[in-house]
Amino acid sequence: MLLTQEDLDRIAAHRPQEKSEFSLLKAAVAIILRDTEQGTEFLLMQRAYHHNDPWSGQMAFPGGKIDSTDVSAQAAAVRETSEEVGIELAEQDYIGRLDDLYGLKVDNQYSVHVACFVFKPQQELRPIGNHEVADLVWLPFAWLEDVSNAHDYTHPHSGDLKMPAVLIDQSKDQILWGLSLRMVSMLYDTLGKKLPVLPEEHFVRLRQIEAKNFAAQTEKSIDGGTG
């Protein structure tokens, strides 16, 4: 699948829903696009394994917590991208903003609020992960058109919760799920397309995740891949 200029224009014209309800963490991420002979791809990083990282080992978009020194959520996404994967995003690379997302609720408080920004740099990109990154993956949109890549993922901190997911590489434990998958789904929504990889029942479950509530003991790691 190759994103056309019309697709990019749709993203640019989108008027995002910016949410304001209190959350335990505010974060911002960057969806970075590039075109290849195989079509359009987007950059994912696999977070390094650290005991104290609630998203340890998970697939995520570059990004992270919005600091008090960041002038905007977009600036936070740009800063975190530079720090994590060494890509310097310029203003001319910016395409548009998607709707904000909340993570799961913890005792009726949202765990995280994420602002998501789409970029498509024109220069050749050579991302290099820092100490927070175990691996980098350029995932083709074509991968999301193959229903055989759908995966029913058991939440790592709640064995009775089945999460819609996309299997990337079983040998590296690379699975796209949680907030990162919801961002991809939201990108498809913005383009006026359906995410082909997910069966209908998975798609419905994905849309219901934000309303779910957890007990406080699961607070440390309840959402997949915020960056």
H or E stretch at 190: helix 178-191
For the residues 116-134, what does the mean pLDDT come to?
A: 93
End-to-end, the C-alpha distance of the chain in Å comes to 25
Q: Is the pLDDT of residue 43 over 70?
A: yes
Q: Given this model, what pLDDT does residue 139 score?
A: 97
Phi-psi domain of 43 (left: phi exceeds 0; alpha: psi -120 through 50; beta: other): beta
As a whole number, mean pLDDT of residues 69-87 equals: 97
Class at the top of the CATH hierarchy for domain 5-214: alpha beta
What pTM, to 2 d.p., does this model score? 0.89
* Distance between CA atoms of residues 39 and 57, nearest Å: 27
Share of the chain above pLDDT 90, in %: 61
